[in-house]
């Protein structure tokens, strides 16, 4: 009996551009060539969700590493809101891991965010020039 299988491909760029740059195998690309993309907003495009995501990750990572959840001050979170998260979820996970390792108390402070060395985006008009174009795409087949 044949299996009913769905495959999803997520990327920060269109599969055609990945193929063009030899970052995806032609055989895999052919499976998604006619698939309809589902646009998913990146972290920087959903700041309204960012607090919940950061709070959840800090609580989980705090429990895992320290045996108790960590919180975050508003001023520390304000610094994270301005961060571009070009590496999306993986970058956020790395940042949270570093914050948990660095924070001395039960709450992440602005000084903790500063201490891990996050480079804030430039306040120039072309600050967005290095960002990947558009939201992430997911293709389901």
Which has more confidence, 101 or 130? Answer: 101
CA angle 33, 37, 43 (to 5 degrees): 135
Rounded Cα gap, residues 28 and 2, in angstroms: 20
Rounded Cα gap, residues 57 and 33, in angstroms: 35
pLDDT score at 71: 97
pLDDT, the chain, mean? 84
Residue 12, classed as helix, strand or coil, is coil
Q: Is the pLDDT of residue 124 over 60?
A: no
pLDDT bucket at 121, cuts 50 / 70 / 90: low
Residue 25, classed as helix, strand or coil, is coil
43-99: per-residue pLDDT in tens? 888 888 999 999 999 999 999 999 999 999 999 999 999 899 888 889 999 999 999
For residue 139 the two structure tokens come to 């293709």
**Sign of the C-alpha dihedral computed for residues 18, 19, 21 and 22 taken in this order:** positive
pLDDT score at 141: 46
Per the document, the length of the chain is 141
Quick one: 102 exposed, middle or buried, by C-beta within 10 A (0-12, 13-18, 19+)? middle
């Amino acid at each position: 009996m044949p299996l009913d299988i769905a495959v999803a491909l997520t990327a920060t760029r269109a599969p055609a551009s990945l193929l063009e740059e030899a970052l995806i195998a032609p055989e895999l690309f052919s499976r998604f060539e006619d698939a309809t993309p589902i646009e998913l907003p990146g972290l920087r495009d959903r700041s309204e969700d960012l607090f919940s995501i950061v709070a959840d990750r800090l609580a989980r990572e705090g429990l895992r590493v320290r045996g108790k959840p960590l919180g975050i001050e508003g001023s520390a979170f304000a610094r994270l809101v301005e961060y571009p998260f070009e590496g999306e979820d993986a970058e956020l996970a790395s940042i949270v891991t570093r914050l948990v390792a660095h924070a001395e108390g039960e709450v992440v402070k602005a000084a903790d965010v500063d201490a891990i060395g996050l480079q804030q985006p430039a306040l120039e008009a072309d600050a967005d020039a290095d960002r990947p174009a558009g939201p992430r795409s997911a293709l389901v087949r």
